[in-house]
Amino acid sequence: MSHGREKAIKFGTGASLVGVVTEPAPGTATADKPAFLLLNSGILHRVGSCRLSVRVARALSAQGFTSLRFDYSGIGDSDQRRDALPFEESSVLETREAMDYLTKTKGIKRFVLMGLCSGSDMAHETAVVDDRVVALMMLDAWAYKTPMYHVHRFMQRYAPKLFNWRVWQNSIRIRWQMLRGTYQGWRKPDPTQGVELEVATYVRVFPPKERVERDLRLFVERGIALYFVWTGGLREYKYRGQYAASFKGVNFNGHLREEYLPEADHIITGLKQQDLVLNNVVAWANALG
């Protein structure tokens, strides 16, 4: 697949942010097409999870789209900020600076924001405050449980075991050993063995559903196209259609496309799942007009 020129750039206040612009491939139709901003997820830099952002940028280039993938401040090659802005504010500011750069250098005034996990969070927050955003492509965005969520969770977790004879055999064997006092499966840990390690964790806080619903009404009023994909790696989402069902007060009026990839993990490591996301994103982008 041929793609356009890729150029490393510095932009933002004090030219402190580093990114890569992927231009449309030569000979492709580019008129009136929005540009894509591919946003960091967590502490990952601009290549994206398992190089997904690179692949998306080049695939979009072959279809005539400009894209910019960049590092938020303090990530990858971008400098640390010199102020005390929290990430939730600085990331929105820097995303808007990325749009400013493409408007100034390319004349582009409409943008699609694409992000995974926290990248989708920041895409949402930026769309709330910037009318230049015309579409959102979100991977494992915020999700909210519905009654059917619990049904699907039970069926996925327990139903296969109910009809698996080996599971029943194992359960009967364990209980028989417990009755005889010969079961060795549960042992108290030896306090003299092993080392306790402290592992850093990232806690992602979902905002109140009422606030998100208000934002979604705003997005629909502005005609923002919404393409959401969830993976099997996000435990809060269990079936296709859950997002629309959790926001029954929003008339999406055809603006929402919702997909579920239960076989994909959260960072989409599998090439088969990556290819599926890639092809679907390109097809959706071509239909935006």
Report pLDDT digits (tens) over 108-134: 999 999 999 999 999 999 999 999 999
**pLDDT tens digits, one per residue of 14-59:** 889 999 999 999 999 888 899 999 999 877 889 999 999 999 999 9
67, two tokens: 């894209």
Mean pLDDT of 267-286: 95
pLDDT band for 202, please (50, 70, 90 cuts): very low
Mean pLDDT of 141-146: 96
The closest of 65, 117, 128 to 95, measured between CA atoms, is 128
Q: Domain residue spans in the chain?
A: 6-146+201-286
Secondary structure of 233-247 as H, E, C letters: CCCCCCCCCHHHHHC
Residue 209, sorted as left (phi over 0), alpha (psi -120 to 50) or beta, turns out to be alpha
Mean pLDDT of 96-107: 97
Integer distance in angstroms from the first to the last C-alpha of the chain?
Answer: 23
Does residue 190 register a pLDDT over 70? no
Mean pLDDT of 176-197: 60
In contact, 56 and 137? CB cutoff 8 Å: no
Does residue 200 register a pLDDT over 60? no
The CATH code for residues 6-146+201-286 is: 3.40.50.1820
Q: Sign (positive/negative) of CA torsion 49, 54, 59, 61?
A: positive
The model's pTM = 0.85
Helix crossing, 118-129 with 209-221: angle to 10°? 60
